[in-house]
Structure 1
Amino acid sequence: MNPRSQYSISNSLLTCTISELGAEIVSLKSQANGDEYIWQGDPAIWAGSAPILFPIVGRLKNGKYSVDGQEYALPTHGFINNQYFTLVEKTRSSITLRVKANQATLLLYPFRFQFDVTFSLEQKSLSVTYEISNSDDTELYFSIGSHPAFALPMTEFRHEKCKLRFSEQENQYCQLIKNELLSEQTYSVELTAQTLTLTADLFARDALIFRDICSSSITLLIDDVPVLALEMGNNRHLGLWAKPNSPYICLEPWTATDETETTPTELKLKPDMLCLSSGATYSNYYRIDIF
């Protein structure tokens, strides 16, 4: 199958393009002026654009976990971004794609599941909705996250005119990745009047991770003008990331975060794990609003 096979949806205001591989958003454009809002995945910097994170978010301790004592390995952010999704339903302005557990996933994650993602345009908003169904006869444990990357204009970025405004005033500290795991120590961050300035070295120590945030949305401002906002959906945690000195910002709503040195190995004992009984379905979403 061609790894670059894509689907497009549109309305009178926006066009969105999604890859079959990982159901990853690769473009979100204005119909009026052609402005591109999604980072275009420069492989010399970071090749991604909006990967989905499942069945884990972030890094596992030693890359391993266990189910009832049986050890398994998972890469950072899980495996769903490397799966091909099939078409379930498509209209002009919405599309639903699906992936199911298969021989390859069962080697990494011994659960049968169905994962549907629906992309829907309404006016100047793109909603991304996940539905995870437990197809197994045992409980399903997982976490889920999103990793959309938004393009920044280089000139304004270099002059520190790109900012994030939280809908609520958050604590002025975050957690960082240290020795490939989430540090339990907190680090100060200059979040003044609900606003964080995106500087060239903001991510010199990797992602900024905000656990249990109060804000329901985060707005990207360029030269103090709102450009877009990300609605958090049913996600408690937020990751912010980019390669240092690179003109994009990843706004990442998560149900869980990277593990710490003290995180248990057994999957069902890990903090923030979601649990679905056999036959049950879980739904979550995030939304991008363009101004």
Structure 2
Amino acid sequence: MPSTIRIGNGDITVDVSSLGAEMQALTTNDGRSWLWTGDAAFWAGRSPILFPIVGKAPDDKLAIGGTVYPMAQHGFARRSEFALTASTATSCRHELAASAATRAVYPFDFLLAVEHAVEGHALTVTAEVSNRDQQAMPFGLGFHPAFAWPLPDASGRAHTVTLDNEGEPELVRLEGGLINPAPLPSPFVKGRLELDHAMFEQDAMIFPEGAGEGLRYGAEGGPALQFHFENLPNLALWTKPAAPFLCVEPWHGTAAQAGASSELSQRPSTTMLAPGAMARFAFTVEVAQ
């Protein structure tokens, strides 16, 4: 059965489940909850780790070196039991190693380690992917955290996403769960986007490049969350229409393109990791009260 560990300091506490190494709660010392609650009436996820793919594969089938394997949307890590390998009062590390079950759908010897660590009002989530195999290993890695919308004590206020780089990145949309590569005009104006649930009637808003390494999600004149991304060049924003959460999703890898190859190595932003190598990805979210 999955177990949950709590880490924290005098400012914030974080709960993490061994199932998927998924964060379950992010709470400040004033009792306010910032993470989505996982209400299954809308979406049962809270902060899944996406590996070895981000998004969908055509017909949920993935080709690796010409061999076809079944692969569900966002991969298998989020449904896998991780081992807790280290913990302190303010951090915890979970690991998922290759097994007979994973090799049946992803034929590589890998180690995926996920660490949650708090410092002050900030949480950093780090994923390290190690290739223990004798061949290059393709994969995608993404984070999918969902936060309250509206934020605590911000009901009725306009909510915005503001890019640190003040960019206006091109938008792409999904077509049957796959990327339609035709770029659309950016919804950002000088890095600022005022959120509206109608924006998500066509599913996620995906920005393959140009969103930069940081952003602020906040309520006008109210609370906010400040993000920083490491080695995560793709960004998605997602919710379900009228659902009270917003997913801020930094990725290294996206869904396959509609009409393109099902080969994992040919998916956009796929990482090709050399034998014996390790790749690191991380995001930090800080509560700005």
TM category (shorter chain) comes to over 0.9
Residue 55 (1) aligns with residue 52 (2): yes
CA contact (8 A) 1:134 1:280 kept: yes
Residue 106 (1) aligns with residue 113 (2): no
CA contact (8 A) 1:170 1:214 kept: yes
Query: Would the alpha carbon gap of residues 170 and 136 (structure 1) be closer, same or farther in structure 2, given more than 3 Å must change?
Result: same
Deviations 1:127-161 (A, max 9, x none): 11111111222221111000000012389887461
Q: Distance in 2 between matches of 1:103 and 1:88?
A: 21
Aligned runs of 1:183-262 on 2, under 5 Å? 183-262=180-259
Output the amino acid matched with 1:258. A
TM-score, with length taken from structure 1: 0.93
Q: Distance in 1 between matches of 2:151 and 2:230?
A: 29
TM-score, with length taken from structure 2: 0.94
Q: Determine the structure 1 residue equivalent to 2:17.
A: 19
4+ runs of 1 displaced by more than 2 Å? 153-160, 169-173, 186-190, 223-226, 261-271
Q: Distance in 2 between matches of 1:190 and 1:52?
A: 27
CA contact (8 A) 2:255 2:267 kept: no
Q: Distance in 1 between matches of 2:285 and 2:127?
A: 15
Residue 284 (1) aligns with residue 266 (2): no
Cα RMSD (Å) of the superposition? 1.8
Deviations 1:182-220 (A, max 9, x none): 112223343223211121212000000001124221111
Structure 2, unaligned runs of 5 or more: none
Q: Distance in 1 between matches of 2:124 and 2:151?
A: 27
Q: Distance in 1 between matches of 2:249 and 2:25?
A: 17
Q: Distance in 2 between matches of 1:177 and 1:233?
A: 25
**TM superposition shift of 1:263:** 2.8
Aligned runs of 1:100-139 on 2, under 5 Å? 100-139=97-136
Deviations 1:164-195 (A, max 9, x none): 11112222641111122111222334322321
When structure 1 is superposed on structure 2, of 265-274 and 36-45 the one drifting more is: 265-274
Q: Distance in 2 between matches of 1:128 and 1:155?
A: 22
Q: Distance in 1 between matches of 2:7 and 2:153?
A: 30
**TM superposition shift of 1:59:** 1.1
Q: Identity across aligned pairs (percent)?
A: 31
**TM superposition shift of 1:43:** 0.3
